[in-house]
Structures are given as structure tokens and as C-alpha cells.
Chains A and B, each alone.
Chain A
């Protein structure tokens, strides 16, 4: 990989004794689209909220988050405010409640323009209008004066995207941007994100529990389980050769597009509670291929081949020599 834009090293988050993240190593290259998948509660969102310093005060965050050469973890608020919505923008799952209900759309977009571009007044308004146009909001000029409750969910997410684009960010983190939307709108929003990435060259981190969404939009995927990354690979490779039993389980739970109908294979058991992590591999209790050694220690991520790593004892052992 070329020099990464953002690099997370050993990022760990603790909510009063309950670990939510247990050492995340992840890098995002300029312009790339990275998918972050896993079940709800596995730490996908927490990873990026922690990276941008958006977690509540009681969360204890350790490790390192570097943007370019700059360390963000523990950086003073002024530095973080410049980065957030500046070089790194973020959009969220529930667009309707992510916009402030008492402020007009135009004002909320213009606020971002003022903070990061120094635009004010009529200039900011004209630019806000252009952004709303760019994200496909019809009648953008009039929509500037609308309040959030007058927009549909899909339109609200478009406004959130417009706001994120205000500073021409180098990275957009999209946290389940389509989960709250219905399927046709979902496709439109994903298409919009893809198109904007091609136009602007920004990198995209797409957080999703939906492998399909990620496969469509991203080049590389990281699979998370119980606060760790268990497998990381280019999208095509992951679907062809899933190595971690959890990834295999996730893919096995997807309905096949062709071939005969078969019952979907669910992964037995549930995600362990943060306060009650099993010793060793957190997935071992649910793993069909577990062996005694799995409980002995947390497996390190090992390269299965260049660009493909998995945190499983069997990952390299089962490799068929090429």
C-alpha cells in the first residue's frame, strides 16, 4: 500500500471496564474504498468515533490514530475540530435525527462551509445550494430554507452527505448510511457515494453489517468480531477465499443468487458480552473448527498472501501450497 492517509495502531476503547475495542490495526490509503463489516456491537462504529474523538468522556481510548503524519489521539480540541468535518467527514445511520431539528438545512450546510472554508453569507448560501444540487436534491434553492422534518430519510442523508462534502474531505466515513432507508433509496445513496468518490478522489470507509452493500461499493474489506479485526482482504478475494471461520460463516449466511434453494446457515451462539470475553480467540466458542489451542491465546493477524490477513491459528496452516 502507498503511504496511508489514516493509520490506526492498537486502537482500544474501554467503557468503564468493558472493552469495546481490543486493539485495531487498520490503514486507509488515499482514495481507496474500505468496507468495515461485522455484527452490530462488534465495534465498527466505535472504531471511527474513537478515531475522531467523538466518544463520550467516560470512554477510555488508547493506541494511536495518525492522519498523514499527525497524531489525533489526545490532540487538543482545536486540532480535532479542524480535522473533523475538514479532512475527515462522517455521516451516520439515522439521517433524520442527525440533522438539528430547529435549524434550516441551508444554515446547517453553510455552518460547515464557514468552519472549513471561511465562507459566509450569500457566498456560503450559493455554495450550499451547489452542494445540494451535487448530491441530487431537487429544487435545491428552495430546499435551503426547509427544516429537517420536511425532508424524507433519503433526502436527509443527501443533506448529510452535502454537509460532509463542504470541506472537500480526503476521507468520508459513512456509518451504516443506508440502514435506515428503504431498498431503492439505499441503492441511490450508494451510487451517489460511489460517484462522488470518483469525482472528488476522496477515500471512503463504509461501515455496514451488510456484506452485499460493501461488496458493491468497496475495494477492500475488513471483517470485525468482538472488538477486533479478524480478516482483511480485497473484496473479490474475500468472497472467493474467506479464511477466518467467522467470515466463512458470514458468507454462508448469505442467500445464494443461483442454484437450488437451501436453508441459510446461521452461525450458532451469540457475540460474547464485552465484560465476559472468552480466553484466547473470541470466536472460538461459536467456531465449528475450534481446537484446544484456540483458547490459549488471542491469535495474531497473519498474512495469508499479500493484502490478505486473517487472525486465526488455522489461517496459514491450512494454506494449500500454490
Chain B
């Protein structure tokens, strides 16, 4: 178990290093922050001074080493735009993002899993077809389109809810619903196919053949097995609690981490972008680690293999 955990932790660390390095290289190669932040008509000497101030005239490998050294000591640099500490800048946006993504996650779980189970239990029935039609629709419509449609209906036509901003809970409803529906659709499809796979297994027939009532077959025999593949996709959703709202936050002008990322990328605000990417990589990797541990708890076959 300790070896398993150690191996996973090492893998997690390598993943984070790779993400950070990749982001560093791509960002440095994709444009000159001095030009973009100072503006196209800034005097050349101002640009040189800006470069010197931020260490941009050094060779790339030295910038990279310096950057890594700083990360290890807990310093993620400052925003090139307003000079504030990047960590503080990102941290103050996290609550706003979580205020959208956590309720959205609850909608995904609360809507997607029961819908998938119901569809599987009534395979090929009217219920199944209706659920799957909605799921395919929710799954294929991109979130920015869905978001705009909801704005059109509930903000413009009906005038029930605001179309953007962050003044109160009413402003959060549309973005939460937009994210929740898409994720619920994905989860419904996943849960349905996992359930169908399990319901066709011989051990389900065994349970019925020994007189277990159908409800108990579903709860006691089918669900624990169907949970194993479903946990993967749930883990992915938990992992994207921080990063998953980029599009929706932009559509609804919600001042969260996602919108900060879009603005920071546009400005080549390197420290901020890298800080967000590090945070995203860390949450994703942590979620994966938890999923791996959950697998072991859910599936005795894996437990033995990894012990």
C-alpha cells in the first residue's frame, strides 16, 4: 500500500513539473509580454527597461531555472500588469469560481446519476429514449451556446434572471445551470452504459436466481459494480472544479479564476497564467490520486493487485 501510494505521489509530482514546464515554454515562445503590456507604440527604451525589470532579456534556460527555484521556495512571482503577488491574485478569485462549480457538481451528480440508472433499468423504453435524447443534446451543445440560449430565454425574453455579473445568488443561477446540465448529460450517459454492462453480467442473474428482490439486486449487486467505472468520470469533474469554468465565466462575466486566466493569457501575464496552471494541475492530480484510492476501496480485485 505504501509503495503504491509512493509511486502515485511520484507520478503526480512528475505530472505537475511537466505541466509547468510546458506552460513556461509555450508562453515564452508565443509573444513578447513587454510589447503587449506596454502597448505597440511604447518607446523602445521603456520596453528595454520593462524587459530588464522582469528578467526577460536573460536566456530562456536561465529564466526557467530561476522560475523553478522560485516555485520550490513558494514564490510564484508577481503580476506583470499591476505588480501584485500572483498567488494572492489567484487566491482571491477561487471562492467565486467554487461558488459556481460546487453547486454545478451537485447538479451533475444529483441529476446525471439517477437519470443514467433509470434509463438503464428501463432500457429501450420511452423513459430511456427521452433521457438519452436529452443527454445527447446536453452533451453535444457547447456550454457557451447553452449559456447564450439560457440568457436569451431567462434574461432577455422572460427577464427573470440577470445575464451576467456577480451581485447576488440570482446572478449565479444561469452559469450554474449551464455547467450542471452539460456535466449531468455526460454522467447520465456514462452511468447508463456502466449499469447496462453490469446488469448483463451473470452474477446479476445469480442474485435474482437466489431470490433477491429486484430493488435489492440493483442496490446491492449492480450499483457497487457500476460505481467503479463511473468514479473515473466523477473524479475528472472534481478535478476540474477550479479550471472547469473558463468558458462559462467568460460568457456570464463572472469574476472567477477562469476569467482571470483568459485575461492573463491575453496579456501574457506570465506569472499569473503559470500560477493558475499550477493550481489546475495540482487539483487535477489530487483528484486522480483520490480516484485511484477509491478504486481500491470499490474493487477488491484491484486492491489485491496494488497491495
- Which A-B residue pairs are the 3 nearest by beta carbons? A85-B210, A85-B211, A147-B300
Contacts A102-B298, A147-B300; is A97 near B209 (CB within 8 Å)?
no
Pair A100/B300 contact, Cβ less than 8 Å: no
Q: Which residues of B contact A98 (CB under 8 A)?
A: 202-203, 205-206
Contacts A101-B301, A102-B299; is A89 near B213 (CB within 8 Å)?
no
In the complex, which residues 146-186 of chain A have their Cβ closer than 8 Å to any Cβ of chain B? 147, 149-150, 160, 163-164, 166-167
The size of the chain B interface, using a CB distance under 8 A, is 23
Q: Which residues of B contact A97 (CB under 8 A)?
A: 201-203
B228 CB, nearest partner CB in chain A, Å? 8
**In whole angstroms, what is the CA distance A52 to B205 when docked?**
11
Q: Which residues of B contact A34 (CB under 8 A)?
A: none
In the complex, which residues 84-121 of chain A have their Cβ closer than 8 Å to any Cβ of chain B? 84-86, 89-90, 92, 94, 97-103, 111-112, 115-116
Pair A101/B300 contact, Cβ less than 8 Å: yes
A188 CB, nearest partner CB in chain B, Å? 21
Pair B202/A112 contact, Cβ less than 8 Å: no
Contacts A112-B211, A147-B300, A149-B304; is A101 near B225 (CB within 8 Å)?
yes
Q: Closest residue to B200 on the A side, CB-wise?
A: A56
Pair B211/A81 contact, Cβ less than 8 Å: yes
Q: Which residues of B contact A81 (CB under 8 A)?
A: 211-213
Pair A100/B203 contact, Cβ less than 8 Å: yes
Q: Is the interface of B mostly helix, strand, loop or mixed?
A: helix
B165 at the interface (CB under 8 A from A): no
Pair B214/A92 contact, Cβ less than 8 Å: no
Pair A83/B203 contact, Cβ less than 8 Å: no
Q: Closest residue to B303 on the A side, CB-wise?
A: A147
Contacts A77-B214, A94-B202, A97-B201; is A102 near B300 (CB within 8 Å)?
yes
Pair A149/B214 contact, Cβ less than 8 Å: no
Pair A100/B210 contact, Cβ less than 8 Å: no
Jot down 10 A-B pairs with beta carbons below 8 A, ordered by A: A77-B213, A84-B208, A85-B210, A100-B206, A102-B224, A103-B221, A115-B210, A147-B300, A163-B206, A164-B210
B201 CB, nearest partner CB in chain A, Å? 6
Pair B208/A149 contact, Cβ less than 8 Å: no
A70 CB, nearest partner CB in chain B, Å? 15
The residue that A92 contacts in the complex, of B206, B298, B301, with Cβ under 8 A, is B206
The size of the chain A interface, using a CB distance under 8 A, is 35
Q: Which residues of A contact B220 (CB under 8 A)?
A: 111
Q: Which residues of B contact A75 (CB under 8 A)?
A: none
A54 at the interface (CB under 8 A from B): yes
Contacts A101-B299, A102-B225, A147-B300; is A115 near B207 (CB within 8 Å)?
no
A198 at the interface (CB under 8 A from B): no
Pair B301/A84 contact, Cβ less than 8 Å: no
Q: Which residues of B contact A237 (CB under 8 A)?
A: none
Q: Closest residue to B213 on the A side, CB-wise?
A: A81
A142 CB, nearest partner CB in chain B, Å? 15
| Apart from the given pairs A111-B210, A112-B210, 14 other A-B contacts in the complex at a CB distance below 8 Å | A49-B205, A77-B214, A81-B211, A82-B211, A98-B206, A99-B203, A99-B206, A100-B203, A100-B206, A101-B300, A101-B301, A115-B211, A147-B301, A167-B211
Q: Closest residue to A97 on the B side, CB-wise?
A: B202
Pair B205/A116 contact, Cβ less than 8 Å: no
Contact with A along B249-288 (1 / 0, CB 8 A): 0000000000000000000000000000000000000000
